[in-house]
Structure 1
Amino acid sequence: MFDTMTLTKIVGGFCGMFLIFLLGNWAGEVIYHVGEGGHGDEHHQAFTIETGEGDGTEEEEVVEEVDFATVYAEADASAGESLFRACRSCHRVEEGENATGPHLYGIVGREVDAVEGFNYSGALEEAADVWTPENLSAFLEDPSGYAPGTRMSYNGMDDIEDRADLIAWLDTLDD
């Protein structure tokens, strides 16, 4: 059924088809090429739609550094209680009841590494002496960045208002 001539025609047909596709690709690239390079000429935008906003240059987004003390003064402790759900898997708020992490009863104003019976990693001692609201905020924002080598695997809490609410709620727990 297949002789040498039939097989040669089939292979020739595929090679011819491939060459036609390559030619089409080359022609499309020449006709519709967008961007710089290749032909030595610059490409300009064909038309511009005026939106009335600015002069076309992008403005840098200004990020204000918010003072934590100001945010903490306006914190909502009741909102912080609902934020504690992320901490509940590893921490308890009852005095003396440790879990994977130490208990958080009376943590605001407490010395770092001060919970009896909990085996700390030692990384926190180098970062701070006392858990002030500012120190807690910095730690909760990025635990491994604040205290490299800590065993706390929490990724961090980005929102400064959430951190302030949580710390305000933790501050209400002690006598």
Structure 2
Amino acid sequence: MLKKVSFTKLLGSASGALLVFVLVDRAGGLYFSNPGLDQPAYVVIEEEPATPAEPEPELTFEERMAQADAAAGKRVFNQCKSCHRVEEGANAVGPSLYGVVGRPVHSAEGFSYSDAFAGLEGSWTAERINAFITSPRDVVPGTAMTFAGLKDPQDRANVIAYLESVVE
């Protein structure tokens, strides 16, 4: 048969076990103590705050065009290939860009331009192409062109240099 355990015996056993744990913890703390270091383990070097570098002056469009690389522009033009071709008369979703630099706006033979382009006058100068491929919808509101634009100004200059080179 089971004996009844009194509350006093249970409390005494728990207190004894707790006392043993505390004594073992204290003894371990004495044995495994941190002796401290004579010198810091690592040295913190305090430096003077760096003066911010002057931002590089923004290049003008003409300076970017002078540095433009047609081979790099051909690589960037891969983003345009889904809608445009650079072969003469080869229209796709967008008009052929063969000889686009300097030609009149909405003049690609055999291509049906949107109403947004019908109202435009003038020619595709390098500067106008630069503005257009920065953000087509801002330059020609209502354009059917869904391309968001090229944000890097040097990429734009490179693409224009590539477009100039395909007719030479």
**TM-score, normalised by the number of residues in structure 1:** 0.63
* In 1: Cα distance, 2:61 partner to 2:120 partner: 18
- The answer to whether structure 1 residue 106 and structure 2 residue 118 are counterparts is no
- Aligned match of 1:131: 124
> Which entry has the higher C-alpha Rg, 1 or 2?
2
- Aligned match of 1:165: 158
- Preserved CA contact (<8 Å) 2:105 2:120: no
* In 2: Cα distance, 1:81 partner to 1:119 partner: 26
Q: Of 137, 140, 144, which residue of structure 2 is paired with 1:144?
A: 137
- Aligned match of 1:53: 49
* In 1: Cα distance, 2:141 partner to 2:47 partner: 49
- Preserved CA contact (<8 Å) 1:140 1:156: yes
* In 2: Cα distance, 1:52 partner to 1:78 partner: 44
Q: How many pairs align?
A: 124
Shift of 1:146: 1.0
Paired residue secondary structure (1:93): coil
- Aligned match of 2:67: 74
Shift of 1:126: 5.0
Shift of 1:84: 1.1
Identity %: 45
Q: Aligned-residue CA RMSD in angstroms?
A: 2.5
| Alignment gaps of 5+ in structure 1 | 1-49
- Aligned match of 2:108: 115
> Residue type of the partner of 1:109?
G
Shift of 1:173: 1.1
* In 2: Cα distance, 1:125 partner to 1:109 partner: 18
- Preserved CA contact (<8 Å) 2:116 2:140: yes
Runs ≥4 in structure 1, deviation > 2 angstroms? 50-55, 61-66, 122-128
